[in-house]
Amino acid sequence: MTHTVKSRRYPAAWREGYGSANMVLNHGWRLGHIWLRGVNRTGGVFLAHPLSRHAKLSQSEGGIMKKQNGCLTAFLVVLGIIIVVGLVHLGVGYYLLSEKIELKEIKASESVASAAVEAISQSAFEPVLPAPVLNSSVDEAFVHDKALDLTGYYFSFEPVQIGNFRLAHIDMGSNNDFIKFEKDGQSIPTWTPFEFEFEDITSKEIQTDQGNFRENSPRVFCKRYLITREVVTFEGYDKQVGKVSFTGKFTTRFLANMVNSMSILTQDKDAILTGDLTINGKTFRNVRFQYWAGD
Give the Cα separation of 74 and 68 in Å (integer): 10
Of 108, 126, 144, the position where a domain reaches its end is 126
Would 273 be classed as within a structural domain? yes
Per-residue pLDDT tens over the stretch 100-159 = 665 565 555 555 556 554 544 444 445 566 677 788 887 889 999 998 899 999 999 999
What percent of the chain has pLDDT above 90? 39
Residues 121 and 187 in one domain: no
Residues 170 and 142 in one domain: yes
Would 287 be classed as within a structural domain? yes
Would 56 be classed as within a structural domain? no
Would 227 be classed as within a structural domain? yes
Would 251 be classed as within a structural domain? yes
Best CA proximity match to 145, nearest among 62, 215, 250 = 250
- Torsion over CA: 284, 280, 172, 153 (sign): positive
Residues 156 and 262 in one domain: yes
Q: Is-contact 246 232, C-beta < 8 A?
A: yes
Q: In the predicted model, what is the mean pLDDT of residues 272-286?
A: 97
Residues 102 and 215 in one domain: no
Residues 140 and 246 in one domain: yes
Residues 168 and 190 in one domain: yes
- What is the phi-psi region of residue 202: left when phi exceeds 0, alpha when psi lies from -120 to 50, beta otherwise? alpha
Beta strands per DSSP E along 173-239: 194-200, 205-208, 211-214, 219-227, 232-238
Residues 70 and 183 in one domain: no
Residues 141 and 117 in one domain: no
Best CA proximity match to 141, nearest among 181, 111, 112 = 181
Give the range among 60-69, 150-159, 191-200, 274-283 with minimum mean pLDDT. 60-69
What is the extent of the structural domain holding 104? 61-126
Residues 115 and 153 in one domain: no
Of 104, 126, 148, the position where a domain reaches its end is 126
Of 25 and 101, the one with more pLDDT: 101
Predicted local distance difference test score (pLDDT) of residue 46: 43
Q: Is-contact 227 220, C-beta < 8 A?
A: no
Residues 194 and 254 in one domain: yes
Residues 192 and 113 in one domain: no
Give the Cα separation of 160 and 283 in Å (integer): 10
Quote the mean pLDDT of the chain.
76
Give the Cα separation of 136 and 214 in Å (integer): 34
Give the Cα separation of 191 and 168 in Å (integer): 15
Residues 139 and 215 in one domain: yes
Give the Cα separation of 78 and 244 in Å (integer): 87
Would 245 be classed as within a structural domain? yes
- Considering 7-21, 116-130, 249-263, 276-290, the range whose residues carry the highest mean pLDDT is 276-290
Tell me how many domains the chain contains. 3
Would 70 be classed as within a structural domain? yes
Of 126, 154, 170, the position where a domain reaches its end is 126
Predicted local distance difference test score (pLDDT) of residue 132: 78
Q: How far is CA 56 from the centre of its chain?
A: 81
Give the Cα separation of 184 and 253 in Å (integer): 32
